[in-house]
Amino acid sequence: MSPTARNGATPALTAILGLLALLAAAVSLVIGRDGGGPTFGFGGPELAQIIVQEIRLPRTLLALLVGGTLGLCGAALQGLLRNPLAEPGLLGASSGAAFGAVLVFYFGIAGASSLLLPLGAVGGSLLALAALYGLAGRRGDFLTIVLAGIAINALAAALTSLALNFAPSPYAALEILFWMLGSLADRSLAHVYLALPLMVPGWLLVVAAARGLDALTLGEDTASSLGFNPRRTQALVIGGTALAVGGAVAVTGVVGFVGLVVPHLLRRAVGQHPSRLLLPSFLGGALLTTLADVAIRLLPPGPELKLGVVTALLGAPFFLHLVMRNPAREA
Amino acid sequence: MTLSAANIEVQYEARAAVRPTTLALEPGTLVALVGPNGAGKSTLLRALAGLIAHGGTVTWRGAALARLDGRTRARTVAYLPQDPPVHWPLPARELVALGRLPHRAYAARETAADAAAVTAAMRQTDTLDFAARSVNRLSVGERARVLLARALAVEAPVLLADEPIAMLDPYHQLDVMSTLRTYVGGAGSGARLVVVVLHDLGLAARFCDRVLLMDDGALVGDGPPETTLGSAAIRAHYRVEPFIARHDGEPLIVPWRSLKERSGD
């Protein structure tokens, strides 16, 4: 194997994934859904602009952005924690965001402005991150981070249940539950504009850690001796993930397993390099999420499945497969 | 142009792991760091590499290492931990190439100099044959040599290696010691400094120019092998009766019998 062939594999994979994601996005713009199941095309020239701009474009853009965020952050977290089972939900950012959103529902102010809900979610996610840093930031070792993440997840889930318990009406409880399932339906471009300012800096922070993740392959001591402070790499990945995933959860609810599955599927193809996994995972996440969202619209008539339900249905068996298989044996 | 340590001191929870130690190490020398288990060898090495909090200062050519930016320090001092983890099963060559990270800008491709350094390091460690093989498909000894190649590929003027030959068969133990000898080079501008933690006193005496002997956190011997590794010192600090002889004009040290009581001197 020559060095050029080795370096060449990742650009080719990246190009293919990027192309496929664009194709999926194009398909997503053409396919809609109404009470009678899937619809194709735009239903007439004067309707076309409204349908695309108001309904399908926001949905497609969010699928790409949210899926990309989950894939990228999943790959970075797996590199940081050097564990193929890590994923964005681990840090508590998702559950914190869910709780923030639930509070908005709980106080019944979600109707006041369509942006209150995502704002609540962003607040919750940032609060969860602050708690994570308060609990584990100073100690800084990876195990403490993971344990603190689990604790924050549990607390956020408990508080969310509490809100459900005291929900003012069964209808509000149902609304909360549905929102937590994660969905891309009925989103507008305003949601895109709200999520992007959080996602883009988050992505940049995560990507800035790329070489530090490579160095961590040989453990913290070697990484330090190669000039990459593991604490700095950790701050970049965790801070970036909290921002980007907070933004994603704010507009779509909790979409699980994309951040776990996508990096794992691509790891071998990029020769196990943590840094080379980042961009393909972003594109792969965007592709997978867009496809899942298209699949939802293609199902026969009936209530629309939530995106989070579909990704969990596909992801859970895969997760089980991962657990049953010793990661050390893969080459 | 030396690596100087002034009053280096490391405390682990009120226990002195390394007592105040002052050292000046010259490029062009292969230095063995020896001593019984728990003497503080690895801790001293980690302090020299700037990996743990320590008292005192370490300077290279008069500049405090702690003040250098990470990349410059990484290009100056290469460090090979004892049995480091390999978290992802990279191909061997890719793992060695990680040693070039301090030389490469963000997202930069491998340069000809990087490729040459990686190939040279793999040739010196006899690892070119399995360059494309995944690290977790290698034997323990092969993996140890790939990790050494990673440290050599940094091409730093200072290499600190913690027990690089502990896992190797006799052939590769001798081979790695000659490789370190070659890496040190002669006098002059290309000369490098290697500090290597060893448990084989015979190899330390044969291959190294200078031996640092540690016991209970303190430097108790420092000088050429013949003076540092005398039978009295070995009895006192290792609690073994050594067999010392010469073969082919070179020293031969074999630990012969363990001594139950610490001898008085």
The class (CATH top level) of B3-229 is: alpha beta
pLDDT confidence of A215, banded at 50, 70, 90?
Answer: very high
Task: Say yes or no for a CB contact (<8 Å) between A271 and B90.
Answer: yes
Total-model pTM: 0.90
The verdict on residue A54 lying in a domain is no
Q: Is it the case that residue A202 has pLDDT exceeding 90? A: yes
Most confident of A91-105, A252-266, B135-149: B135-149
| Overall average pLDDT of the A152-181 stretch | 83
Confidence of residue A137 (pLDDT cuts 50, 70, 90): low
Q: Which residue has the higher pLDDT, A45 or A183?
A: A183
**Is a pLDDT exceeding 50 seen at residue A330?**
no
Residue A279, pLDDT > 90, answer yes
Residue among B73, B109, B110 minimizing CB distance to A227: B73
* Model confidence pLDDT, tens digit, residues A263-278: 988 998 998 999 999 9
Nearest to A7 among B77, B79, B109 (CB): B109
Q: Please count the CA atoms within 13 angstroms of the CA of A39 that sit on its side-chain side.
A: 13
Let me know: does B35 contact B213? Beta carbons within 8 Å: yes
Closest-CA residue of chain A to B134: A331
The residue that leads in pLDDT, A238 or A9, is A238
CA angle (B178 as vertex; B173, B184 as ends), nearest 5 = 130
- Residue in chain A lying closest to B86 (CA): A218
Token pair in block for residue B113: 């100099």
- Does the pLDDT value for residue A188 go beyond 90? no
Query: Best residue in B46, B77, B87 to probe A by mutation, most A CBs within 10 Å?
Result: B87
Average pLDDT, chain B: 93
- pLDDT tops 90 at residue B79: yes
Chain B residue numbers with beta carbons less than 8 Å from the beta carbon of A271 are 90-91, 94
Dihedral over Cα of A293, A296, A298, A301: its sign: negative
Candidate from B51, B109, B137 with C-beta closest to A225 = B51
B174 touching chain A per CB within 8 A: no
Of residues A6, A221, A226, nearest to B101 (C-beta): A226
- Regarding predicted confidence, which is higher, B226 or A116? B226
Task: List CB contacts (< 8 A) between A224 and chain B.
Answer: 50-51
Q: What is the mean pLDDT of residues A83-110?
A: 81
Beta bridge partners, B250, equal: B247
Residue B168's pLDDT is: 94
Torsion region of B76: left, alpha or beta (phi above 0 gives left; psi -120 to 50 gives alpha): alpha
pLDDT over threshold 60, residue A331: no
Nearest CA in chain B to A2: B132
Q: Which two tokens stand for residue B184?
A: 């040190």
Q: Which residues of B touch A228 (CB under 8 A)?
A: 70, 101
Q: Give the structural domain span for A278.
A: 9-23+62-329
For residue B100, the chain A residues in CB contact (below 8 A) are none
Chain B residues with CB inside 8 Å of A214's CB? 98, 101
A299 band by pLDDT with thresholds 50, 70 and 90: confident
For chain B, what are the domain ranges?
A: 3-229, 230-265
The band of B197, judged by pLDDT with boundaries at 50, 70 and 90, is: very high
Q: How many Cβ atoms are within 10 Å of B191's Cβ, its own excluded?
A: 15
Distance CA B81, CA B43 (A): 11
- Closest-CA distance, B122 to chain A, in angstroms, reads 15
Lowest mean pLDDT among A16-30, A122-136, A142-156, B135-149: A122-136
A227–B95: do the CB atoms touch at under 8 Å?
no
Residue A297 lies in a domain: yes
Mean pLDDT of A84-102: 82
Interface test with B, best of A218, A228, A278, A325 (most B CBs within 10 A): A218
Higher pLDDT, A130 or B84: B84
pLDDT in tens, B116-133: 999 999 999 999 999 999
A1 pLDDT higher than 50 = no
Residue A219 in this model has a pLDDT that exceeds 80: yes
Contact A108, A172 (CB under 8 A): yes
pLDDT computed for residue A73 by the predictor: 95
Cβ of B136 and A331 within 8 Å? yes
Identify whether A42 is part of a domain.
no
| Per-residue pLDDT at B201 exceeds 60 | yes
The answer as to whether A138 is a domain residue is yes
- The yes-or-no verdict on residue A242 having pLDDT over 90 is no
**Which residues of chain A are within 8 Å of residue B98 when distances are taken between CB atoms?**
214-215, 217-218, 226
Which residues of chain B are within 8 Å of residue A226 when distances are taken between CB atoms? 74, 98-99, 101-102, 154
Convert the pLDDT of each residue in A106-120 to its tens digit: 777 766 676 787 788
Q: In a 3-state reduction of DSSP, which class is residue B50?
A: coil
Q: Which residue of A has its CA nearest to B100?
A: A226
Give the residue with greater pLDDT, A302 vs B192: B192
Phi, psi for A208 (deg, rounded to 5): -65, -20
Which band of pLDDT confidence, cut at 50, 70 and 90, is reported for residue B216?
A: very high
B/e letters for A170-205, b = 16+ CB within 10 Å, e = fewer, are: eebbebbeebbbbbbeebbeebbebbeebbeebbeb
Tens-place pLDDT, residues B138-180: 999 999 999 999 999 999 999 999 999 999 999 999 999 999 9
pLDDT of residue B265: 47
Angle between helix axes A278-298 and A307-324 (nearest 10 degrees) is 130
Lowest mean pLDDT among A11-25, A63-77, B11-25: B11-25
Nearest CA in chain B to A276: B107
Instruction: Note the pLDDT of residue A233.
Output: 92
What is the rounded average pLDDT of the residues B180-197?
89
Q: Do B102 and A226 touch (CB under 8 A)?
A: yes
Burial of B181 (C-beta count, 10 Å sphere; 0-12/13-18/19+): middle
pLDDT (0 to 100) of residue A110: 66
Contact A146, A90 (CB under 8 A): yes
| Residue B262: φ, ψ to 5° | -65, 130
pLDDT at B100 over 90: yes
E strands present in chain B: 3-12, 15-25, 30-34, 55-60, 63-64, 77-80, 158-162, 193-197, 210-215, 218-223, 240-247, 250-258
What is the tally of structural domains in chain A? 1
Q: What is the CATH number of the domain that holds A203?
A: 1.10.3470.10
pLDDT at A136 over 80: no
DSSP letter (8 states) at residue A328: G
Burial class (CB in 10 A: 0-12, 13-18, 19+), B67: exposed
Cβ–Cβ contacts within 10 Å for residue A237, how many? Answer: 27
CB B206 within 8 A of CB B250: yes
pLDDT band at A221; cut points 50, 70, 90? very high
Separation CA A199–CA A73 (nearest Å): 11
User: Which among A245, A246, A255, A248 is positioned nearest to A292, based on CA atoms?
Assistant: A255
Q: Among A36-45, A73-82, A151-160, A214-223, where is mean pLDDT lowest?
A: A36-45
The pLDDT, as a whole number, for residue B262 is 52
User: Does A68 fall in a domain?
Assistant: yes
Predicted local confidence at residue B144, as pLDDT: 96
Tell whether the model's pLDDT for residue A302 goes beyond 90: no
A271 touches B at CB < 8 Å: yes
pLDDT of residue A51: 79
pLDDT of residue A54: 82
Confidence of residue A138 (pLDDT cuts 50, 70, 90): low
What is the overall mean pLDDT for chain A? 85
Nearest to A328 among B98, B136, B150 (CB): B136
- Lowest mean pLDDT, pick from A31-35, A136-140, A155-159, B233-237: A136-140
A221–B84: do the CB atoms touch at under 8 Å? yes
Cβ neighbour number for residue A235 with a 10 Å cutoff: 16
Q: What is the mean pLDDT of residues A124-153?
A: 79
With a pLDDT cut of 70, the percent of chain A lying above it is 92
Q: Report d(CA A175, CA A165) in Å as an integer.
A: 13
Weakest mean pLDDT among A87-101, B8-22, B48-62, B127-141 = A87-101
Name B121's Cβ contacts closer than 8 Å, sequence gap at least 6: B96, B99, B149, B150, B152, B153
Q: Which amino acid is at A173?
A: A
